[in-house]
Structure 1
Amino acid sequence: MNKGSEWRKWNFHVHTKGTNKNDQFTSRNMDEFFYTFFKKAIENGIEAIGITDYFSLDRYKDAIQYVLEIDSKINNTTQQKLFSEEEISTIKKIFLFPNVELRMLPSTDRARLINIHCIFNPTYVPQLENDFFGHLSNQDGIKMNKHGLIEYGRGLDPNLSTDELRYKKGVDNFTIDLKSLKELIANNKNFKDNCIIIVSNSNNDGASAIQKHYDLFENEDGSLDGLRKSIYQISNSIFSTNEKDIKYFLGKRLEATEGYNEEIYKKEVEDVIRNRGSLKPCLVGCDSHSEATLFSKFTWIKSDLTFEGLRQICFEPEQRVKIQASKPDFKEDKVVIEKVKFISPSKKFRNEVIYLNPNLNVIIGGKSSGKSILLFSIAKTLLPDQEILKNDNDEEKYNLLSLESDFNFEVSTKAGFSQLLFRDANENSIIPDIKYIPQNYLVKLAEPEINKKGKPLNKLVRDLINEDADSKSKYDSFISNVKQLDKDREDKINKYFDLLDEVEKLDEELKTKSNKNVLETNISSNTTKVEELNKEAGLNDDELIKYKELLEKDNKNKERTEDFKNDYKVTKDFLNTSIEKVQELKKLQSEFILNLKGAKFSTYYREKLSMIDTIEYQLVELQKEINIVKTEEGKNVFPNSNVFKTEIEEIQSEKAQIITDLTPFVRNEEIQKQIKILNESIQNDKKLLFEIENLNKQITDKKISIQSFKTEIFDLYDKVYNEYQKVIEELKDRTIELEKDGLKIEGISQINFSKIYKSIYQLSDGRKAHYRNFEKLLETNKKSTDSFVYEEIKQELIKIFDSIMDGTYAILPSTNKKNAIKVLLEDYFFDYWKITYKNDKLGEMSTGKASFVILMLIIGLSKSKSPILIDQPEDNLDNRSITKDLVNYLKNKKLERQIIVVTHNANIVVNADAENIIIANQKGQNDTESTSEYHFDYTNGAIENSKQIDKNETDLLKSMGVREHIAEIVEGGKEAFILREKKYRFIKNIS
């Protein structure tokens, strides 16, 4: 199972029984010790161990020998194997490597020697006697090899009786000369390629303790500066768990300070490289000298279990090394693709499993080698919406079944779920929210933005922002609010024009009524005549007064009757409308209760909102109460007691009494006929006068309402704009995190000026020159992203509104004022997301740079932690954007999400430190033919996997290591490795 570079627990500094100094191990023999040793290693999940001793490889060789013989190790008591088969398998996989611990002059401020550790490539061990032990010496010129240590021990104490005692004494006191170690590193490239030097940085035995009160982060001066600098410069890493050390040696000491930016980081990195030779990882080991402390500490290293894998920490000191309890780069198992597999009965594709790394996987290969087919197959298996898989001609890029009729493809997650590409249509994706970015997709998004053609990118940004459930909820609420406000505004406009129509009708009706002055004159004249006729009829003054009172009372009775009719109609209409509204509210209530998931909430609100049922019941009862029925005689009557029934009975009773009271005053029949005619005329004139006054009052009231509705219409327009402002502010937090990558997204409420101009102009009579007076809105060249002051726009809208209404803004005969106002006051707003990258506006960037920024948006805004699939992101990017921007971005984002990339670019493979390299090959597409049984073949491994080209191997993918494939396939691959290693001043030949 090869997943490339993986996080594993390494212990770099473990002494074993028989160590040359401070041996506190209590095991009775080596077998007993190594039983405990490996049991504890398994319990603690340790996969790589640096067997450490002073000036010696003997203990390392003991451990290797024990593992070689582990199958035969028997418990003497039970005669059973000491380890189970599973444990034996695990122990054999543990990477054992030698750590030779040296001590170096000068002593520290605490009179302790400096500890230097040399980690060696196990394959280099046979050459160490000559290249290492036989080369280094102390200041007296005595060699560090075993013979030299014996001689040195004899010099210290001539009374020591055996070579073993003299050797022990020599180990206790021998110190190497820094000069000889520097010469060895400078002159022996083989040694340098196979050794990693670690210097301790503790206060007792480390380089940082050379100078009294030494502060690692202050300027250095004095005679010891050069010595300390030399020690750091020959080292590749540091033994330290101090947080200050870790940050300093990574060039990140100042990252928490205010104003920290890329330039400060670059300068600090340069300072560390200049003064310390390179950026360096900090490591930790348990430094055990007894069984009790075995594997009590460890370091997480991301690499193959090989020396070449370990060597990668020199190139990626931050991303490949972590000192912490939990496994780094945590990702949920359900969102990590662990393996994929082509199901190809005719062996068109490799049938064996291809494993993926949780971090960055790159797929490389020659032209038409099957790179993109692999990525496409993963995407097609998992994507619910497969529109993005199609070309411009609406066909999928790869018709997989045409390549092989029985073809299928399987994706398996780390959580243990598997899924076939061709499966039951009802089976949902196991990772539905993966992101797939096909070749040229970024360019297609970038070009419309740059060329100002369309606005797909703004929608993409909005959709990405709303991947977050909370943000989507806020945006959905915003859309709902805006739609309701748009509906309310349209209703207000309809009502506004209904009122205008009503005023117009009232005006027309008013014109049909008599002149008010004429009516008032007629009433006064006829009243005088009635009085004169009554005198002729013999009525005295008192009777005339009484008669006039009765006539006035009769008039009031008639007015009361008219008011009754009006109030009954208004009440009946109100109750009918109210019942309809309450029934709508009941429907909303029912939907609301059904949408509640918790029984507690539905029960609570069902009880609290039962008042709606009560209101409906009461309204229906009120409606029944005033119901009118016809009697057998054809009369309308109230069957139920109510306030209207009481009122009409009182009116009718009063009318009957008035008629009775008027009877005595009727004496002269001819005169009374005249009086009756005049009274009827007076009554009719008064009625007409009342109607005129009522019409005038209605017209006045409705005109006041019209102005009120106009205000409300524009208040609703304000509310719509405020909704856009509000939602942008609410979504702001989703974009802030991207600023650390130099990417800024600023939400702005914009008006689509081009759309409003086009919409208004289409219904306008364009012959009127004064239409150009409204330049803030109706300007041909205004763009959708032009800035504006909302209050100025609103005042312009009001001016156009008034001009349409008073006719000075002429509209086409084919439309009307109502439609024109609706078009004018449509919601032309939109939420615009202005994008800048390192102070460059997206619309002003090159297509390549814009493509990279869009990639950042897709990855950075995506709330999902599911895998990202990218096909050749380097397309259209210049080299600087790739080596600097894209590489750094992928290095950072792979820590958060699994990334799978098809690429031809060596910098993405090498300098983004891809954990897993998948090499694709198609028969007949290369100069070198392959004997692989598959037409499309794949292999994979870590970037540090190296194997010289085997010319006798005819299967191309097996003929060399991953590193060599990269150097051969990817353009500039060899140079990328060289540049990467030069960057850290740690160079190895790549052939």
Structure 2
Amino acid sequence: MIKNKFTKGSEWRIWDLHIHTPNSICQNYGNTPENWEKFISALENLPNDVKVIGITDYYFIDGYEKVMEYKLKHNRLKNIEKIFPILEFRIDTFGSGNENKLQKINLHILFDLDESNLSQEIKLVNEEFISKINISSLDEHKTKSLSKENFISIAGSLKEGFNSLIPSTRQVFEFLNSITWKERTFLFLGYKEWSNLEKNQQLKLIKDNLYSQVGAFFSNNFTTNPSNQSWLDEFGNKKLLHSLDIHEFKYLDTFEFEPDGTQKPSKNYQCNTWIKADPTFEGLKQIKYEPNERVKIQNTNPSFDFDKPYFSSFRFNNDEQIFTDDDDLIFDKSSAIIPLNPNLITIIGGRGEGKSMLTEYIATSFFDKETNKEGVFSKNGNIEVDYCKTIRNQSESLTFPINEDKHSVDFIYINQGNLKNQVEDREKKSKLANSISNLAKLKKSIFNEELNQKVLDNIDELHKLKEFLNENENKIEHLESQEKSTNEFINNITTKENKDKLEKYSKNLIELNTLKLKKVQLENFTKQLNENITSLNEKIVSLNEETKNIPEIEPSSKTFKNQVVAIDLWLKNVNKEIAKIEIEITKVKDEFEKYYKGDLTTLLKDVDKFQNSLFDIRKKIKETKAKQERLTKLTIELFTDNKESKSLISKIEEEYTIQKNKILSDWETFTKVDERKDLNIQQKEIMKNLLNDLDIEVIVDFDEQKFYNEIYHCINGSEWRVKNNKAAQVKHFGIENLSTFFEYIKNKYLQDFYSTGFYKETFTNVLFDENKRKQYIKVFPILKYQKKDLNKISVGQKGTVYLKMMLATEAFSKPIIFDQPEDDLDNEFIMSNLIDLFKNLKKYRQVIIVTHNANLVINADAEQIIIAQNNKGKLKYISGSLENEKINNKICEILEGGHLAFEKRREKYKFIK
């Protein structure tokens, strides 16, 4: 059983699998004790990211044996987590680098040896592999096994023997495929020589056969690696690893010295092979099953390719009772600390083992995260969660004790059945549509407030005008009758002798009244200017608060200088005209006194009285006619369409189309993934995948039932007997849809408003106030999945759509915790889409899944598996990677179809194109 050492799961490390030792047949170190010490020291000074090395000597394992003696007996090489023995063989098939030079093809054999019994393991390699291989395929060497002594005895020297003798490749592969070694070796080929093997298709079958028998290739040229990998991909999916094929100290140097003796980093050492796996043999095998996910050839750590926040650990500082009213269920402190992988984490366990309990308990300690569990969680701070703000700096982290306080960290939490509730528990289509709209960042349809207010104001004004004009004293006929009778009164007190003088007096009187009215208006306007300044200064003081960024407005003489000057000039002219007319009036009175012998004071008072009355009547006639004109204009503006303009009611109707088009435009913008400059190529592909099969139809929905529910409150049942008769209401109004709704308003609203049986204000608000109207008229998108209305697909498909939208909205940011997605999602989507989706998304966000679906664990290539265990009410958690034998066995034990999923994953890349 492999010890569960790497609890954080699969992590990126540099694997340098091509380092020769001073014991190698070809090397430039010098095989002396001093150079061996220097060699070990150089390995100890390799960059921190180098955690796995391969001691790669030709044919023999004694160099590896000596390195491991330093590590195991002398406690050296603590920086290296795993050292593999690799034997480099020559293949007795040759490639051509050019027309004149043949090149031997290199076969690298990596052995999986148990370090706890290393001496016996090395003996096994020597006795059951190396010594059983003939030193060449020549008949004369059938009794000569592969050994340094036989190289020397046959060729005269070790190097000459190495150069001239090649063991039988057929025999090497026979032993490698034996029961002893088939599952304990990993094979590599040298890329350059193998790629030169084929000339004019003559050796294509041999080349393909060699490709099929190895797990990966080696290259020492980082610059050409991408183009060579591209060419290699034509044969299949095997990776081209990079290492310098180190034979001398120069290429082990990680620092060098300036002429003045100062130390500086050296660029001599290079290995750009990053493998995401435990530093174990099983970890290495993952590059065959998931080559594109597990291998990166680049200068920098692939973890830093995309920054993201993530939960970095769960800590169990003490036993914690889970529920306040149940002391039989606790989190066991023996779980200690669970470091969390920043990529894909799956939490598994049998029924009742506590896999969902952990995520539910932790997630609900953060704002806006709801629970499904029955009972009240007990949270006393014995469990802590670490949250790292950036993957590039572990010190940028926060620690949250799980207690009664709610914490503020933004992440998506989908608890068990939550998606199903989202798509089932919503009140019909509009609420689900609103949820979808929010996810797609589709702006809510907002009615044109200016238009809404204008309609309300105009309707209010129209009814006030109607009310005014319907009063007897304001009717034109009544006013004209008053005008006529008042004129008659004036004519009846006027004789031939005083007619001209009285008319002149009346005219002057009218002018005087008009001028005095204008004077009052001008003086009032001056007062308003001053009041406005005072009001504006108060606002300025409020805005400035402690500062004085906005200067206060100076007195009106400066602020409204032009207006004040004009008003003063006008007032002076008005006063002059008043004085002038008053003189004229005095003259008329004087003329009357010369010849009029009657009661002049009474006569002029009567004239004055009737003239003022006539002035008021004519003024009111003018105002009434203006109100009649305004009423006519308002009625046309509200209800009548013509060639020049649309009515306000038609504009309201048109506003819904505008809202509809705006939502469609927002959706188009949302789905134009290729135009987004903030996404890389893979992210764009992820977005396209998420949005695939999704589209929207925007509808303007008129809810007839809700409309008549609102109309119910407008009807006075005592006057109109159809209050509780729905059929009679429908017959009367004739409103069934949006079109008939607006037709009714244009043609019948005024008639009904002025008939009996309605609460007029309520009736008007229901029809014209958008806050009321939106109760029964809504603009919203209907999401289509595979061209089907969301309301016409299964619950699992709805959950699938909702998840896709949720992920598309924030695909590359905050962590997501998803409790048992298989319960909420369409199974076809899980198998054909979700697995690959999570494999891609985990690069850009931390994904934590609670699941009992083996494929989501295995074929999504989860970096970390956390296994929940319940031992008599004590919940405990262990964690590790897929390649960890203990974890591997638990997956197969717990998850139905686990063995099959592993086999499917292993078989995926066993082919040659």
TM-score band w.r.t. shorter chain = 0.7 to 0.9
- Summarize the alignment of residues 146-225 of structure 1 with structure 2, pairs less than 5 Å apart: 147-148=145-146, 165-175=156-166, 179-180=170-171, 183-184=174-175, 187-202=177-192, 205-207=193-195, 210-211=198-199, 222-225=201-204
Question: Alpha-carbon deviation of 1:891?
Answer: 1.6
Q: Are positions 1:231 and 2:222 aligned together? A: no
One of 554, 561, 564 as aligned partner of 2:509: 554
Taking a change above 3 Å as real, the CA distance of residues 51 and 668 of structure 1, as seen in their structure-2 partners, is same
Give 3-state SS (helix, strand or coil) of 1:913's partner: coil
Q: Secondary structure at the match of 1:870?
A: strand
- 1:726-745 equivalence runs, <5 A: 726=662, 729=665, 733-734=669-670, 736=673, 737=684, 738-743=687-692
Equivalent pairs counted in the alignment come to 820
**1:379 to 2:381 alignment:** no
The aligned residue for residue 944 of structure 1 is: 883
Could you say if the C-alpha distance between residues 131 and 245 of structure 1 is closer, same or farther in structure 2, counting changes exceeding 3 Å?
A: farther
Q: Which structure has greater strand proportion?
A: 2
Q: Is the 8 A contact 2:865 2:882 kept in 1?
A: yes
In the alignment, the residues of structure 2 paired with residue 293 and residue 618 of structure 1 have an alpha-carbon distance, to the nearest angstrom, of 88
Deviations 1:397-439 (A, max 9, x none): 45443xxx967321123545564545474xx62x611222211
- 1:350 maps to what in 2? 333
SS in 1 for 2:181: helix
Do the aligned residues in 1 keep the contact of 2:430 with 2:780 (CA within 8 Å)?
Answer: no
Which amino acid is the alignment partner of residue 590 of structure 2? Answer: T
Aligned residue in 2 for 1:77? none
Report matched runs for 1:614-693 at 5 Å: 614=553, 644=571, 647-648=574-575, 650-652=577-579, 654-666=581-593, 667-670=595-598, 681=610, 684-685=613-614, 687-693=616-622
Separation in 2 of the partners of 1:879 and 1:684?
89
SS in 2 for 1:921: strand
The residue matched to 1:197 in structure 2 has which SS?
strand
- Separation in 2 of the partners of 1:437 and 1:230? 49
CA shift, 1:56, in A, is 2.6
Structure 2 Cα separation of the partners of residues 52 and 144 of structure 1? 27
Which consecutive residues of structure 2, in runs of 5 or more, have no partner in the other structure? 1-5, 115-120, 253-268, 322-329, 389-393, 640-646, 674-683, 716-721
Equivalent position amino acid for 2:19 in 1: V
C-alpha contact (below 8 Å) 1:95/1:306 kept by paired residues: no
TM value normalised by structure 2: 0.77
Aligned residue for 1:102? 90
1:813 & 1:580 partners in 2: Cα distance?
Answer: 46
Q: Residue 243 of structure 2 aligns with which residue? A: 285
Aligned position for 1:328: 302
Q: 1:60, CA displacement in angstroms?
A: 2.0
Partner of 2:106: helix, strand, or coil?
A: strand
Going from structure 1 to structure 2, the CA distance change for 1:848 and 1:99 (only over 3 Å counts) comes to farther
**Mapping of 1:500-519 within 5 angstroms?**
500-508=463-471, 509-511=473-475, 514=478, 516=480, 519=483
Residues 311-341 of structure 1, C-alpha deviations (whole Å, 9 max, x = no match): 1111111111111122224365853323332
1:754 to 683, 703, 708: 703
Match of 1:435 in 2: 412
Shift of residue 694, structure 1, vs aligned partner = 3.5
Percent identity reads 22
C-alpha distance after superposition, 1:276-330 (max 9, x if no partner):
4x52223111212222223412311111111111111111111111111222243
Aligned-partner SS, 1:311? helix
Q: C-alpha separation between the residues in 2 aligned to 1:715 and 1:300?
A: 64
Contact in 2 for aligned 1:3/1:942 (Cα 8 Å): yes
Measured at CA, do residues 49 and 422 of structure 1 come closer, stay the same or move farther in structure 2, by a change above 3 Å?
closer
Q: Does structure 2 retain, via aligned residues, the 8 Å contact 1:286–1:293?
A: yes
Question: Quick check: 1:5–1:303 contact (8 Å CA) kept in 2?
Answer: yes
The alpha-carbon deviation at position 8 of structure 1 amounts to 0.8
3-state SS, counterpart of residue 206 of structure 1: helix
Contact map agreement 2:811 2:841 (CA 8 A) in 1: no
Superposition deviation, residue 442 in structure 1: 1.8
Structure 1 pair 575–311 and aligned structure 2 pair: CA distance change class (3 A)? same
- C-alpha change, 1:530 and 1:168, in structure 2 (3 Å) is same
Give me the whole-angstrom Cα distance separating, in 2, the residues matched to 1:643 and 1:515: 33
Aligned to 1:886: 834
Q: How far, CA to CA, are the matches of 2:491 and 2:112 in structure 1?
A: 130
Q: Does 1:822 align with 2:768?
A: yes
Partners in 2 of 1:145 and 1:750 — Cα distance? 87
Tell me, yes or no, if the aligned pair for 2:516 and 2:578 is still in contact at 8 Å.
Answer: yes
Q: Counterpart of 2:59 in structure 1: which amino acid?
A: F
Q: C-alpha deviations, 1:948-985, integer Å up to 9, x for none?
A: xxxxxxxxxxxxx2111112122222222222212233
Distance 1:175 1:852 in 2: 59
* 1:850-861 paired onto structure 2 within 5 Å: 850-861=798-809
- Native 8 Å contact 1:25 1:289 kept in 2: no
Following the alignment from structure 1 to structure 2, what is the Cα–Cα distance between the partners of residues 648 and 321?
97
Shift of 1:384: 1.6
Q: Deviations over 1:4-25 (max 9, x none)?
A: 2111111122222242235466
CA distance in 2, matches of 1:560, 1:65: 119
The amino acid across from 1:199 in the alignment is L
Q: Could you say which residue in structure 2 is the equivalent of 1:113?
A: 104
In structure 1, what is the Cα distance between the partners aligned to 2:217 and 2:384? 44
SS where residue 854 of structure 1 aligns? Answer: helix
1:539 aligned residue:
none
Paired residue type of 2:807:
I
Equivalent position amino acid for 2:582 in 1: K
Aligned partner letter, 1:664: E
Distance in 2 (CA, whole Å) between partners of 1:691 and 1:460 is 58
CA displacement, residues 138-187 of structure 1 (integer Å, 9 cap, x when unaligned): 5546879984477986xxxxxxx7568444223223445554455555x5
Asked if 1 retains the 8 angstrom alpha-carbon contact of 2:345 and 2:848, the reply is yes
**C-alpha contact (below 8 Å) 1:774/1:796 kept by paired residues:** yes
- Give how far 1:47 is off: 0.4
User: What is the rounded CA distance, in whole Å, between the counterparts of 1:4 and 1:807 in structure 2?
Assistant: 75
Q: Structure 2 CA distance, aligned partners of 1:145 and 1:708? A: 112
Distance 1:803 1:361 in 2: 65
Q: Deviations over 1:188-212 (max 9, x none)?
A: 244231222222333xx23365236
Map 1:207-606 onto structure 2 (within 5 A): 207=195, 210-211=198-199, 222-240=201-219, 242-247=225-230, 276=235, 279-294=237-252, 295-330=269-304, 335-341=310-316, 343-344=318-319, 349-351=332-334, 352-381=336-365, 383-386=366-369, 388-389=370-371, 391=372, 396-397=373-374, 399-401=376-378, 408-414=382-388, 415=394, 417=397, 419-423=399-403, 425=405, 429=407, 432-448=409-425, 453=428, 457-465=432-440, 482=446, 485-486=448-449, 489-490=452-453, 492-508=455-471, 509-511=473-475, 514=478, 516=480, 519=483, 523=487, 530=494, 532-534=496-498, 549=504, 551-565=506-520, 571=525, 582=536, 590=543
The equivalent position to 2:70 in structure 1, one of 63, 66, 71, is 66
How far residue 733 of structure 1 moved from its aligned partner, in angstroms, is: 5.0
> What TM-score comes out, normalization by structure 1 length?
0.72
- Report if aligned partners of 1:749, 1:830 keep a CA contact under 8 Å in 2: no
User: Is contact 1:747-1:832 (8 Å) kept?
Assistant: no
Unaligned runs of 5+ in 1: 72-86, 154-160, 213-221, 251-271, 536-543, 595-601, 627-639, 778-792, 925-933, 947-960, 987-991
Match of 1:697 in 2: 626
**Contact 1:121–1:194 (Cα < 8 Å) also in 2:** yes
Hey, what's the Cα distance between the residues in 1 that align with 2:318 and 2:211? Answer: 54
When structure 1 is superposed on structure 2, of 434-443 and 223-232 the one drifting more is: 223-232
Query: Residues 651, 586 of structure 1: CA spacing in aligned structure 2 closer, same or farther, 3 A cutoff?
Result: same
Check conservation: 1:359, 1:899, Cα contact below 8 A: yes
Does the residue aligned with 1:971 lie in a helix, a strand or coil? coil
Q: What is the rounded CA distance, in whole Å, between the counterparts of 1:855 and 1:102 in structure 2?
A: 54
Deviation, 1:121, is 1.3
Question: Aligned partner of 1:439: which letter?
Answer: Q
In structure 2, distance between residues paired with 1:168 and 1:500:
112
Letter matched to residue 751 of structure 1: V
Following the alignment from structure 1 to structure 2, what is the Cα–Cα distance between the partners of residues 903 and 443? 16
Q: CA deviation at 1:232?
A: 1.6
The 3-state SS of whatever aligns with 1:367 is coil
Secondary structure at the aligned position of 1:501 is classed as helix
Q: Is the 8 A contact 2:701 2:779 kept in 1?
A: no
Distance in 1, matches of 2:207 and 2:178, equals: 23
Asked if the contact 1:104/1:115 (under 8 Å) is kept, the reply is no
